[in-house]
């Protein structure tokens, strides 16, 4: 059995090189259409191994109970990193545990959130956490429909791994939408101001509104 595993007959990876966008400013990792917050290379790799690689393992008939039983770095975590993932499983009655080598490449990029933070336009941000996204989207579309002025001041909504960030040109529009969402979805509102440079000599502040489940 060992030889068959070695020859890659029983298990193998669909590919041994994986490419991901990683934000060079905040460390967010892009998987599919979503950006996931991470604490840097190690944390991004950990997320990839546990949430992405499993589906890339190919195995032949007779193999069962396949799982990733840990991994180790074969090079220092950086923009490209070699790792050995340990695959455990059963072939017939016999258990096996084998390492598979793969390389994760990160492409340095700037995530939409960091682009937005740097942009001059944005004046207010609503951060919604802990609510079903489909539900939020429906309510937001509904409110935009009822009040077109909200849509005029809207810049962009960015999905994060645990919620939604909505950017606005004006603080008034953000506050208004936040009030409606809080009312309709039963959310707690918290406001604070962040100083973001100066404008015509005066400190410029941006409004951050947090909406959370009660």
Token representation of residue 59:
């195995």
Output DSSP code: residue 14: S
* Cβ at position 117, least distance to Zn ion in Å: 8
* Cβ at position 119, least distance to Zn ion in Å: 13
H or E, element range at 94: strand 94-109
Nearer to Zn ion, 25 or 88 (CB): 25
Q: Report the distance separating Cα 48 and Cα 42, nearest Å.
A: 10
* Cβ at position 40, least distance to Zn ion in Å: 12
Nearer to Zn ion, 27 or 89 (CB): 27
Report whether 209 contacts 189 (CB < 8 A): yes
Nearer to Zn ion, 28 or 171 (CB): 28
Task: Classify strands 34-36 and 29-31 as parallel, antiparallel or unpaired.
Answer: antiparallel
Q: Report the distance separating Cα 192 and Cα 124, nearest Å.
A: 10
* Cβ at position 89, least distance to Zn ion in Å: 37
Torsion of CA 71, 77, 79, 84, to 10 degrees: -20
Nearer to Zn ion, 56 or 110 (CB): 110
Token representation of residue 62:
């007779």
Nearer to Zn ion, 40 or 203 (CB): 40
Nearer to Zn ion, 71 or 106 (CB): 106
* Cβ at position 43, least distance to Zn ion in Å: 14
Other C-beta atoms closer than 10 Å to the C-beta of 135 total 11
Report whether 20 contacts 104 (CB < 8 A): yes
* Cβ at position 27, least distance to Zn ion in Å: 7
H or E, element range at 46: helix 41-51
- Interface contacts to Zn ion, rule CB under 5 A: 23, 25-26, 28, 111, 114
Task: Classify strands 124-129 and 94-109 as parallel, antiparallel or unpaired.
Answer: unpaired
């Amino acid at each position: 059995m060992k030889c068959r595993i070695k020859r890659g007959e029983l298990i193998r990876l669909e590919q041994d090189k994986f490419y991901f966008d990683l934000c060079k400013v905040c460390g967010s990792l892009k998987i599919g259409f979503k950006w996931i917050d991470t604490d840097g290379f190690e944390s991004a790799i950990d997320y990839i191994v546990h949430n992405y690689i499993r589906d890339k393992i190919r195995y032949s008939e007779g193999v069962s109970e396949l799982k990733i039983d840990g991994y180790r770095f074969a090079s220092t975590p950086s923009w490209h990193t070699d790792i050995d993932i340990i695959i455990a499983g059963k072939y017939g009655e016999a258990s096996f545990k084998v390492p598979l080598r793969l390389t994760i490449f990160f492409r340095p990029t700037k995530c939409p959130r960091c682009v937005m933070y740097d942009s001059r336009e944005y004046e207010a941000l609503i951060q919604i956490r802990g609510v079903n996204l489909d539900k939020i989207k429906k309510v937001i579309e509904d409110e935009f429909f009822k009040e077109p002025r909200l849509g005029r001041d809207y810049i962009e909504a960015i999905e994060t791994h645990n919620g939604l960030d909505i950017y606005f040109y004006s603080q008034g529009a953000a506050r208004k939408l936040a009030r409606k969402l809080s009312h309709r979805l039963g959310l707690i509102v918290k406001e604070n101001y962040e100083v973001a440079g100066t404008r015509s000599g005066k400190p410029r502040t941006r409004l951050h509104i947090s909406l959370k489940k009660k």
